[in-house]
Structure 1
Amino acid sequence: MVRELKTLGFWQAVLAEFLGTTMLVFLGISAAIGNGNSSYPDQEVKVALAFGLAFATLVQSLGHISGAHLNPAVTLAVLVSCQISVCRALWYVSAQMLGAVLGSAIVLGVRPEAVESLDLNKLTGVSPGQAFGMELLLTLQLVLCFLATTDKRRSDVAGSAPFGIGLSVTLAHLAGISYTGCGINPARSFGPALVSMDFENHWVFWAGPVTGGIMATVLYDFLLSPRGLDLTGRLKTLCHGVEALAVETEPLVEGGAAAGECFYPKQLTIVINC
């Protein structure tokens, strides 16, 4: 764990998660509140496309540096899959939360005067229990898509993985905006809530996505496409990162992008083959 913290690539990856989540929240919320005259169906399509395209673009831009999780639910799912260390997961989630708060604060500063809301995730005609179920299922399909499209064991994947993940985000928003505003990302929900100091039913937007992400990992990694039961390798990864499994570890405070690839693309191969 100490060695991982001393690598330049680790901090580049943390910075990438911070910047990526900042941009994701800024772009998504800006699209959601930028046109108060839109009819609801048109608005839902616009917001869904904004989040989906933003996620696809950022995964394409930052995936080789950090894996471009941009979502605590994705990071926790990858942690359960034993593809990153506990230390890296904690730093990723912290960076994502800070990035979401910064992105929300920027939108608060530049929003039109007539706009009062920051597009908080709210329950619309559903109970908290129903909303929990909706967030769970929407996040489950997103994380399942994320794990499957970035699985380097596959040779049948054609096209762009970032585009596929972006489509998954778009699909979730098209299905869920009318019910919960479509959280599927605890950081995206936390940023506007903190800036607006409104945490009504906020637990739903943590419990649902986190549970859905973990369920997706269990389904994919242990049932649908098992990665193997090398407990020693998994424990090494959780404690020291994937670098601990490499024959030759990277130099300290050197290494650039390869040092920050948490599971995509090179270090995933190391985890799979262990």
Structure 2
Amino acid sequence: MLKELCAGFHVKAFLAELVATLIFVFVGLGSTLSWSGAMPTILQIAFTFGLGIGTMVQAVGHISGAHINPAVTIALLVGARISLVQTFFYVIAQMLGAVVGAALLYEFAPPDIRGGFGVNQPSNNTTSGQALAIEIILTMQLVLCIFASTDSQRTDNIGSPAISIGLSVVLGHLLGIYYTGCSMNPARSFGSALMTGNFEYHWIFWVGPITGAIFACLLYDYVFVPQSISPRERLEILRGNFMQENENEERRKQSVGLNSLYNQSNNKEKM
């Protein structure tokens, strides 16, 4: 067991996820602060979170795949694109990054401008059930965008994944802010909740995003673009042995999740 854990741990990828999540949470929550008593606008918050994700995808996508979100990592696990061990370390890195990013911002921000510190919770008379449904739907659209924009089997011009994914986050916020403050990311929600000690309704922002991400994975892999992968290959990927065997280069690209598109883009440039 210890050997498998060590084999699935990659320092650069771990640090990339930690740093990317730290910066994303730091700038994202920073956009919710109330400077000089003026409340931030919806566009300001939406584009800050979206640009934050897009920038980090561009910065570390070729290192870790730039998941920056436990829900995305779990969706890739369900889709047999990453191993169980890799999933474990990625989620740990994302949670640590979110906590450090939120803690730094909390320390730097004067108490009188922190406000609610971007804590996700139902608002505008939204019920818990409605909030859960909103988080499921918004995370579904995000993960569908991620799967589609990083699909190595596509031959059409898909443009920039960083821009597409960033705009998907913007889209979610433009609606979701009115209902839940818009999470789509359990780590982002955990960071602000921990700093304020406000965990009321916090379960929504784990169950909703993870459920939506899994739904998106199943929809994409079994309905939109059925994956021709055998149960044995799927099991080997989950165990982390698939890459070591190096049986098939195309399968290798699929197993690394988001990294596949970056590798594909680099190959095209060389041609």
Normalised TM-score (structure 1): 0.87
Q: Which amino acid aligns with 2:28?
A: G
CA contact (8 A) 1:126 1:179 kept: yes
Counterpart mapping for 1:74-89 below 5 A: 74-89=72-87
Distance (whole Å) between structure 1 residues aligned to residue 65 and residue 106 of structure 2: 29
**Match in the other structure for 1:55:** 53
Q: CA deviation at 1:241?
A: 5.1
Report how many residues are paired: 258
**Match in the other structure for 1:18:** 18
SS state at 1:32 partner: coil
Alignment CA distance shift 1:172-1:66 (3 Å): same
Alignment CA distance shift 1:31-1:268 (3 Å): closer
CA contact (8 A) 2:22 2:97 kept: yes
Distance (whole Å) between structure 1 residues aligned to residue 128 and residue 144 of structure 2: 24
Q: CA deviation at 1:196?
A: 1.3
CA contact (8 A) 2:102 2:191 kept: yes
Distance (whole Å) between structure 2 residues aligned to residue 241 and residue 78 of structure 1: 16
Alignment CA distance shift 1:78-1:7 (3 Å): closer
CA contact (8 A) 2:149 2:158 kept: no
Distance (whole Å) between structure 2 residues aligned to residue 86 and residue 5 of structure 1: 12
Where does the alignment leave 5 or more consecutive residues of structure 2 unmatched?
Answer: 264-271
Counterpart mapping for 1:1-274 below 5 A: 2=3, 5-6=6-7, 10-35=10-35, 37-38=37-38, 43-116=41-114, 117-124=116-123, 125-240=125-240, 242-247=242-247, 262-266=256-260
Where does the alignment leave 5 or more consecutive residues of structure 1 unmatched?
Answer: 250-257, 270-274
Distance (whole Å) between structure 2 residues aligned to residue 7 and residue 129 of structure 1: 37
Q: Which amino acid aligns with 2:122?
A: L
Alignment CA distance shift 1:190-1:163 (3 Å): same
CA contact (8 A) 2:151 2:261 kept: no
Q: Which amino acid aligns with 1:105?
A: A
Alignment CA distance shift 1:267-1:145 (3 Å): closer
Distance (whole Å) between structure 1 residues aligned to residue 159 and residue 201 of structure 2: 39
Q: CA deviation at 1:263?
A: 2.0
- Please provide the CA RMSD for this pair: 2.5
Relative contact order, higher structure (CA 8 A, sep 6+): 1
Q: Which amino acid aligns with 2:41?
A: Q
| CA displacement 1:109-150 (0-9 Å, x = unmatched) | 011231243110121020100000000000000000001100
Distance (whole Å) between structure 1 residues aligned to residue 198 and residue 215 of structure 2: 28
CA contact (8 A) 2:8 2:85 kept: no
**Match in the other structure for 1:255:** none
Q: CA deviation at 1:264?
A: 3.2
Distance (whole Å) between structure 1 residues aligned to residue 49 and residue 189 of structure 2: 13
Q: CA deviation at 1:104?
A: 0.5
